[in-house]
Amino acid sequence: MSSFAGRMKEYPTISLDRFDRENLHAQAYFLSHCHKDHMKGLKGPLLKRKLQFSRTVRLYCSFVTKELLLNNPKYAFWEQYTVPLELESPTQISLVDEASGEKQEIVVTLLPAGHCPGSVMFLFEGCHGNVLYTGDFRLAVGDASRMEQLHSGSRVKDIQSVYLDSTFYDPRFYQIPSREVCLRGIAELIGNWISQSRYHVVWLNCKAAYGYEYLFTNLGEEFSTQVHVNSLNMFKKMPEILSYVTTDRQCQIHACRHPKDEEFLQGNRLPCGSTAADGTPLRIISIKPSTMWFGERTKKTNVVIKTGASSYRACFSFHSSYSEIKDFLSYLQPVNILPSVVPMGRSLTE
């Protein structure tokens, strides 16, 4: 959960992933991805009024994030104020003080963050040094060394500050299996189950509104099927995902939701209420992707653990592990490291 207040000391006239309080005075806004803890104030009436009276203030994000944002009617007013930027393409932006007319130029580059569809890191370059805001990220060891825009020729750019996703910056989460390893464990369990009969079905207990598309697309590919979801709206502009999801309830892999879905499962029902056409009772197992739960284990475990008669936990992380963060920072060697997330299980004072 992000605890970042929105401002960077080097470039205090821009706001990132926070749109209320002092951020209402920003000269430009940046949204790293569309998870709620990074969107506080984004639909607020004061911000909406500010935009209506400004000629220069804009919101910058990736193309996918723009599509996801505008898919929600509550954010429709942002359409004329949102500027999507290409990945890994340095873009010069003017920060304008509309009262005095003073102007400052900065260059921003969007870098892939690996957290969820559309998620990016922002690299800012200007008169106050190079600053990297990671947003939420999941980068593997060595990924930073392969990002051309973090380099000047053969050397790493001088980074003044990194505003860091420190969610798992804790030795308890030293090693988190890669998504590929976790996918293999989940796919093996699902394959063994649904191959028994057409009445054997799986419910993926995915809490976030989106972010599990990596699972949906790869499981769909693996089993030549589609995953049942509540709505296709958010995927309409993402054809690479859309073909792997469906609102047809007659399939064997579900990721549907219901406000009381846990109660449904206890009654051996899917959250969508789907039943077999011929009345045969369904055999349902649930798989809950988790990271925190695995980090709390005192000894190393498999990536999939049975936790009940028909329930499983599967290790799956949207955030870099302690060792991945250490690798990232040791490669960049920033002057300052500023955590933007209170690590899981810790308090703000710690």
Q: Is the confidence at residue 344, as pLDDT, over 60? A: no
Verify that 42 and 130 share a domain, yes or no: yes
CA pair distance 31, 47, nearest whole angstrom? 14
Alpha-carbon distances, residue 225 vs 139, 148, 244 (angstroms): 29, 37, 7
Q: What does the pLDDT average to over 17-23?
A: 97
Pairing of strands 91-96, 103-112: antiparallel
Q: Is the confidence at residue 299, as pLDDT, over 60? A: no
Q: Is the confidence at residue 342, as pLDDT, over 90? A: no
Tell me the CATH number at 290.
3.40.50.12650
Q: What is the pLDDT of residues 212-231, one digit of tens each?
A: 999 999 999 999 999 999 99
Verify that 240 and 325 share a domain, yes or no: no
Report how many domains make up the chain.
2
Q: What is the pLDDT of residues 164-175, one digit of tens each?
A: 999 999 888 888
- pLDDT at residue 295, rounded to an integer: 67
Number of H helices and E strands in the chain, helices first, is 8, 19
Q: Is the confidence at residue 273, as pLDDT, over 70? A: yes
- pLDDT at residue 350, rounded to an integer: 59
Verify that 67 and 132 share a domain, yes or no: yes
Verify that 159 and 117 share a domain, yes or no: yes
Alpha-carbon distances, residue 13 vs 57, 118, 186, 280, 289 (angstroms): 11, 24, 45, 62, 38
- pLDDT at residue 326, rounded to an integer: 97
Residue 1 lies in a domain: no
- pLDDT at residue 345, rounded to an integer: 61
Q: What is the pTM of this model?
A: 0.92
Verify that 168 and 187 share a domain, yes or no: no
Verify that 18 and 167 share a domain, yes or no: yes
Strand partners for 289: 314
Give me the domain span that covers residue 204: 179-315
Residue 3 lies in a domain: no
Verify that 326 and 245 share a domain, yes or no: no
Verify that 21 and 152 share a domain, yes or no: yes
Ramachandran class of 174: left when φ > 0, alpha when ψ lies in -120 to 50, beta otherwise: alpha
